Amino acid sequence: MHIAHLQPTGQLYSLITFGVAEGCPDGYVRHMGVNVVLAARLADLGLKQDELAGQMNDAIEAVTGKPGTFSDRTIRRLLNGSTRRPAGNTKVALERVFGCSAEDLGFYPTRTTAAPPEEHVRRRRFITSAAGTAAAAATPHLTTPPARVGMADVHRLQDQINKLTLLDDRHGGQTTLDDSHTTLVEDALARATRALDLQQQNVAGERVRRSLYGVAADFTALAAWCCIDARDLARAQRYLDRAMTLAGMAQDHVIPLRVWNSIAMLAHQQKRFPDAVAAARAAQNLPITRKDPFFASFAHARTAIGFSNLGEGQQALRRIGYAQEALAKATPLERPSWTHFYGPAELLAMTGIVQENLKMPAASEASSHKALAALPDRFQRNRALATARLALAQLHQGDVELGCATASRVFDIMGSDPIPGRMRTLLGDFHRDLLSLAPRSPRAYEWADELRTKWS
């Protein structure tokens, strides 16, 4: 008869094929004697065998005053079916660690107790759902077991990161959340605190702890990015420092790339162009960029912008070439949601920035047109930024009328959303250059009036 097989669902291991092993009481699921329910609970909590043994030893010490003597061998016997009816300290420790009865963990009941029929029904429901949250059946004389946190909690937090990232992509980092009237920055920081609280106040395996540090780092990096988008430079620096620390504690290999990229952008805003290049090159030297050409392309493009701000045209254009070559080699993979903005369209937009910085407005205009044609609709903020860059390129070629018309479209694209600080700076650059190139042009006066009207 077919027995349950465990398949990863992203939140918990679920049992998708059911049957009863020969000689196994009704309601218990095993495969070749293996306790698949216990294995699923162990995986969900991110616990290794030695970690479970340690937690069981601690549980017995809390009850008896003396540490337990459980080891890896004990856990292997529990998992492989050698121990089918845990009793005594083993049963007490299991129930205390997992917060449910030993039967709910897939074990046979002890021979001295006969479970009533309704208990068999409850166990069957637990096994078929594999939710791992059955009602606690702790021994009466024990105190309430400490709360558990597992990968399901991590995945819920990651889903929230994805939702906030989508809001930033469309509306910019200064958007206010409709349901709570808090800013995206405030919400991201609150969720980072929640992730750290889960890690501090609950029992979890090493994998879960690292993952919680990772999501806290991601939330904090998102808050820093929103501050960069708003040009709130002092707060951005604080959050970037914190995000890098948390990423180190998480032993995460991707978040440092995000942080270095943001550090490079922050240095650019502060006109510390050598620091911007150094930060971008630090991103280039991360292991993840050597492993994945997608990330290598991203780091090369950021380095190119840094060199263009220093006026080093040959270096900048060479890095753009490297970025194009690397992106052509990248394969579709599941990557963090904050990276979804980067692709052929964004690389074209960044190429336009490099060309504009190098006094190549005609080439910049062409790149910006191509970027806008390829940019997915959901990146509203980036579309508005690319449009402002296009207006600058047109103005620097002496086309005042066309440049002003293009710049006006920025307000139409953003609609009722607030204009982020980065975009305000870009529009300010356009306005300054317009007054410098055509101070007496009627169109310049019209643009100035439109800017004053729509600025807010």
Q: Are residues 196 and 123 in the same domain?
A: no
Identify the pLDDT of residue 390.
97
Contact (Cβ atoms closer than 8 angstroms) between residue 423 and residue 385: yes
Identify the pLDDT of residue 157.
93
Q: Are residues 122 and 15 in the same domain?
A: yes
Q: What is the CB neighbour count within 10 angstroms for residue 120? A: 16
Identify the pLDDT of residue 146.
55
Is 65 part of any domain? Answer: yes
Count of domains observed in the chain:
2
Q: Are residues 117 and 228 in the same domain?
A: no
Q: Which of these three, 98, 129, 160, is where a domain ends? A: 129
Q: Are residues 36 and 86 in the same domain?
A: yes
Is 336 part of any domain? Answer: no
CA distances from 243 to 188, 262, 340 (A): 12, 11, 20
Encode pLDDT of 241-273 as tens digits: 999 999 999 998 899 999 999 999 999 999 999
Q: Parallel, antiparallel, or unpaired for β 34-35 and 30-31?
A: antiparallel
Q: Are residues 53 and 160 in the same domain?
A: no
Q: Are residues 111 and 218 in the same domain?
A: no
Contact (Cβ atoms closer than 8 angstroms) between residue 189 and residue 398: no
Encode pLDDT of 116-147 as tens digits: 444 444 444 444 443 343 333 333 334 445 56
At 438 the three-state DSSP class reads: coil
Q: Are residues 121 and 223 in the same domain?
A: no
Q: Which of these three, 252, 287, 316, is where a domain ends? A: 252
Q: Which of these three, 193, 217, 252, is where a domain ends? A: 252
pLDDT confidence of 39, banded at 50, 70, 90?
Answer: confident
CA distances from 16 to 41, 43, 87, 105, 367 (A): 15, 16, 30, 17, 51
Q: Are residues 90 and 11 in the same domain?
A: yes
Is 239 part of any domain? Answer: yes
Encode pLDDT of 426-450 as tens digits: 999 999 999 899 888 888 888 888 8
Is 304 part of any domain? Answer: no
Encode pLDDT of 272-318 as tens digits: 999 999 999 999 999 999 999 999 999 999 999 999 999 999 999 99
Is 36 part of any domain? Answer: yes
Q: Are residues 82 and 170 in the same domain?
A: no
What's the rounded Cα separation, in Å, for the pair 455 and 277? 32
Is the predicted pLDDT of residue 216 greater than 80, yes or no?
yes
Q: Are residues 125 and 234 in the same domain?
A: no
Encode pLDDT of 46-82 as tens digits: 778 877 777 778 778 777 777 788 888 888 888 887 7
Is 184 part of any domain? Answer: yes
Range of the domain at 28: 6-129
Q: Are residues 122 and 189 in the same domain?
A: no
Is 441 part of any domain? Answer: no
Encode pLDDT of 335-374 as tens digits: 999 999 999 999 999 999 999 999 999 999 999 999 999 9
Q: Are residues 83 and 163 in the same domain?
A: no
What's the rounded Cα separation, in Å, for the pair 300 and 279? 11
